[in-house]
């Protein structure tokens, strides 16, 4: 045990480096009572404090395999605790997780959560904001593909919405598979069941595989609108890549602005961009040659009640034409070269380092 009154005086709240240093010592010996900088004499349960970080003690690594002593509620002991700063006493100490008076604890926990949250979001923005100009470049490089997909979808729907609807229902009813069900010859069925005197339907099925590109068959699909929505959010937030400028921008943010920016950027990275690209790639896969071959084989199966015809051919000058007939409607679509442009990789944040977060 360190002698009484030997702890370090902190006229102001110590910087995060101090908490890291205490955690490093604890990791070594699991004995807060050996850390000279900390106060070990009794502290009143009503004393006001700020949480610097959470700590935990492993009793199996202590000399007597016991819990650690707590200055706030001696002789009680703890495993989970917190390094705290006591502004009135100008000192730091590690106390048990729930030792302090409830009122003091609640307000300290609230401040700690807010500060951790702010640090977390500021770190995120510091890395995420400079990526925005590159994201806008990716959006610009993808625009031609989205415009072409929208053009094809509009024409498909205008010419042949009944065929779209038929194919939507077919793939919905068979888990995305192109199948034709038909009754096998009734003679065989009757012979087998002759004694029971009851006619039983026997059904067989031809299966042509999965129809890709259901996005192309949606009643509503507007990839350009989706792209514009993402772009307009990024344009509002964009501040360039110059690090001092980015830093000043973040420091000047109020809580609401910071929370909003963090939330929308995170949402674009974790959900919206991915949904946009998955749908656009799925749309394009409808026009893959193998997919159209599957659709044609299914559609022209003589036992199929929903006859569908597909003609996929090259016209002059390398222009492709996909003709689709079915459900009393017809369309001819000519996918332009923009549709095959690959979508560039979305600039990703580096893996987050594990910071000190509020529990
Ligand atoms: Zn305690």
pLDDT exceeds 90 at position 128? yes
The pLDDT, as a whole number, for residue 250 is: 94
| Separation of alpha carbons 257 and 262, rounded Å | 9
The pLDDT, as a whole number, for residue 77 is: 85
Mean pLDDT across 261-290: 97
Mean pLDDT across 197-204: 70
- Ligand 1 centroid from CA 346, angstroms: 49
- Ligand 1 centroid from CA 97, angstroms: 7
Could you write out the DSSP letters of every residue in 60-105? GGSTT--PEE-TTSTT-EESEEEEEEETTTTEEEEEETT-S-HHHH
pLDDT exceeds 70 at position 182? yes
The pLDDT, as a whole number, for residue 191 is: 54
Whether 70 and 76 have beta carbons less than 8 Å apart is answered as yes
- Ligand 1 centroid from CA 354, angstroms: 28
Q: What is the mean pLDDT of the chain?
A: 91
Whether 46 and 104 have beta carbons less than 8 Å apart is answered as yes
**Which residues share a beta bridge with 94?**
83
The pLDDT, as a whole number, for residue 318 is: 85
- Ligand 1 centroid from CA 95, angstroms: 5
- What ranges do the domains of the chain cover? 16-100, 128-340
pLDDT exceeds 60 at position 356? no
pLDDT exceeds 90 at position 349? no
Mean pLDDT across 56-75: 90
- Ligand 1 centroid from CA 48, angstroms: 15
**Other beta carbons within 10 Å of 356:** 16
pLDDT bin (cut points 50, 70, 90) of residue 355 is very low
pLDDT exceeds 90 at position 262? yes
Structural tokens at position 334: 């000519």
The pLDDT, as a whole number, for residue 96 is: 92
What long-range pairs does 334-339 form, CB within 8 A, spacing at least 24? 335/148, 335/152, 335/287, 336/148, 338/144, 338/145, 338/147, 338/148, 339/145, 339/148, 339/149, 339/152, 339/284, 339/287
Radius of gyration, alpha carbons of the chain: 34
What percent of the chain has a predicted confidence (pLDDT) above 70?
Answer: 92
Mean pLDDT across 116-144: 95
| Separation of alpha carbons 44 and 35, rounded Å | 20
| Separation of alpha carbons 116 and 52, rounded Å | 10
- Ligand 1 centroid from CA 251, angstroms: 37
User: How far is C-alpha 123 from the chain's CA centre?
Assistant: 18
- Ligand 1 centroid from CA 114, angstroms: 24
- Ligand 1 centroid from CA 164, angstroms: 69
Residue that wins the pLDDT comparison between 74 and 309? 309
The pLDDT, as a whole number, for residue 359 is: 34
pLDDT exceeds 50 at position 357? no
- Ligand 1 centroid from CA 316, angstroms: 84
For tokens 């102001």, the residue is 12
The pLDDT, as a whole number, for residue 171 is: 86
Mean pLDDT across 300-328: 94
Mean pLDDT across 122-128: 94
- Ligand 1 centroid from CA 39, angstroms: 13
| Separation of alpha carbons 24 and 40, rounded Å | 19
Helix (H) or strand (E) holding 6: none
Is the bond into 75 cis (omega within 30 degrees of 0)?
Answer: yes
Mean pLDDT across 152-171: 96
């Amino acid at each position: 045990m360190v002698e009484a009154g030997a702890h370090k005086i902190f006229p102001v709240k110590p910087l995060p480096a101090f908490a890291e240093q205490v955690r490093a010592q604890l990791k070594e010996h699991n004995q807060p009572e050996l850390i000279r900088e900390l106060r070990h004499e009794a502290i009143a349960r009503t004393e006001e404090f700020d949480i610097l970080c959470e700590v935990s003690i492993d009793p199996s690594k202590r000399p007597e395999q016991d819990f650690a002593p707590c200055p706030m509620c001696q002789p009680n002991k703890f495993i989970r605790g917190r390094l705290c700063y006591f502004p009135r006493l100008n000192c730091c100490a590690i106390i048990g997780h729930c030792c302090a008076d409830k009122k003091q604890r609640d307000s300290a926990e609230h401040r700690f959560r807010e500060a951790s949250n702010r640090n977390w979001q500021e770190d995120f923005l510091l890395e995420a904001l400079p990526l925005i100009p590159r994201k806008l470049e990716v959006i610009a490089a993808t625009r031609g593909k989205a415009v072409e997909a929208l053009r094809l979808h509009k024409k498909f729907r205008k010419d042949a919405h009944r065929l779209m609807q038929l194919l939507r229902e077919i793939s919905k009813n068979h888990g995305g598979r192109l199948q034709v069900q038909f009754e096998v010859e009734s003679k065989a069925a009757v012979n087998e069941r002759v004694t029971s005197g009851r006619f039983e339907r026997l059904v067989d099925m031809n299966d042509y595989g999965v129809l890709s590109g259901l996005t192309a068959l949606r009643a509503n699909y507007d990839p350009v609108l989706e792209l514009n929505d993402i772009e307009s959010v990024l344009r509002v937030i964009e501040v360039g890549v110059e690090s001092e400028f980015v830093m000043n921008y973040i420091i000047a943010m109020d809580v609401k602005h910071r929370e909003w920016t963090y939330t929308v950027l995170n949402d674009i990275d974790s959900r919206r961009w991915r949904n946009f690209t998955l749908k656009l790639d799925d749309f394009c896969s409808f026009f893959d040659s193998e997919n159209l071959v599957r659709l044609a084989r299914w559609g022209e199966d003589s036992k199929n009640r929903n006859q569908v015809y597909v003609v996929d051919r090259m016209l002059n000058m390398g222009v492709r034409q996909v003709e689709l007939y079915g459900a009393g409607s017809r369309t001819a679509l000519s996918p332009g070269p923009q549709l095959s442009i690959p979508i560039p990789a979305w600039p990703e944040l580096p893996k987050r380092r594990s910071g000190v977060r509020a529990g």
